[in-house]
Structure 1
Amino acid sequence: MDKQVLKAMSHHLSPVSYKRDDYIVRENQPVSRMFFITRGEVTKNENPPEANFIGEELLEWVLDKSFPTILPLSTCTVRVVSNDAEVLILKARMLKNVVSKFMKHFSNFASLSDIQLTWLKKVEIFQQMDEQVLEAICKCLKHMNFNVAKRHILQEKKPLKMMFFVIRGVVLIESDSALEENVKNTCEIGSFYGEELVQWVTTWVHKSFPAKLPLSPGSALCSVRGGPVEILALKADDLKSVVSEFRSKFSTETTLPTDSDQPRELTILKN
């Protein structure tokens, strides 16, 4: 990287101290800052790190001139193993200020679609898909905002019209089904919900899609205390279009579910 850019970044570095067993960053969580280890010892995925900086994934984010809300996800977990550690941090908004002035120096970094791919690959079924299919799916991802507490994003036992990734706020997941009495969980930043939709679509890839979507196994609502919610949504119709376009990329050995062996969350709505 150009020395002029590095010098500009150095003006925005701030020291932070950590104690033994503190986590500096966790795998699959959004990267909101870069870290430079100046004192102490850390492990990266339980192994000694190869370099003294963490969070290089954040550099991918700067390519998009709009600086989208969605941040890259960490590819590692970093934990302090010495009695303490001192770290210099560079916050995302400070990096944004620097890059705004030196955008031409960042033209070789990954595109926004690369960042979105890291989010998709958090879902096991996407990890098994062809890269070309994933790139097409990335183009279908849509930002959606919800500003009213307890507003439904998805409703239990209603058509599962999308799967989504949480990129801001907290989504409350509720289920009062007989199998899961009054179950309540949360989806926070970096989490996803509704992957059953992907399983359903890919199951029917070599047949005509049924007219009815699978049922949502729970209700997804905006949390009262989590503030505004922003999600990255993959809608059912868009997913079906992509899968239909790339049918040849999917195995022909998929077994279609029957009424007797179909999982509860994949049950198709009946008339």
Structure 2
Amino acid sequence: MARVSDSVPVVDHEASAERGVWLTLALALVLSLAFHGAVTTVLGWLDPSALAIAPPAPPSELFVETVVEEPEPEPEVEEPEPEPEVEEPEPEPEVVEPEPQPEPVERAPRPNDPAPEPPPQAEEPPPPEPLDLSGTVLTGTGNSDFQVVQGDGSDREGPIGPPPTRRGGSPDGVPNGTGGGGTGTDPGPRVLPLANLSRPPSPPNQQRMNACVNENFPRSARQQSLEGVATVRGRVMPDGSFTRLRIASESIDGLGFGQACLRCLRGQRWTPPLGPNGDPVATDVRYDCSFRIRD
């Protein structure tokens, strides 16, 4: 028997793939040429003038109307009525002042008449030193010595020291003279210091002064059992009056010792001091009031 052999054809895959690529490229080329030819044909049919760019349109004119409003008329202002004229008063008649009288002319002194020389002024004596009595009583009789008694209520006797030494006056003065003269108001009595006195002043009665001091002992000080001393200054005048009293000091302020001493000394009469020639003069003194509590 004879064999029948079936043959199967062998397909070349690489060759078929290459042919597909060439077919695709050929088809794409044909389509591109056909597209360009169609575009060229259409452009040839169009009007070339239609393709030109049209110029820009001219700007349109804009009309703006401006309306001006007329201002309202201002209201009329009424003019004020004129004020009535005031009649000016008639001018007063002028007063004629009298002419000033010429001042009297003082006649100049003649050159031959010498001007009077002013009287020489007497030299003022130095201010007198106040007599320090220190709460004492000064008494004197004739040429005897004076004694000093402490003003504490007790009586004491006996001389204490010699009388003060007299001092002479100016070497150019006149013996027993009374000083230079002058014009004007009365200058008052002469005030001499204790050293120039021929007799010092004597205070009032000591017993009377002690009684006055005890009666005027400040109540507040007595209640507190406080003792004190007050010093009063004053001037004994030629008539024996005691003037120009003032409190010089107080051992304790504010208790009234000074006022009590003033009350006892006001109105008291002293023995007037005498000057070198025995005439009454004035002198400044100091007096102490001792306030002691008696048992």
TM-score range, shorter chain: under 0.3
* TM-score, scaled relative to structure 2: 0.20
Structure with larger Rg = 2
Higher share of residues assigned helix = 1
* TM-score, scaled relative to structure 1: 0.21
Higher share of residues assigned strand = 1
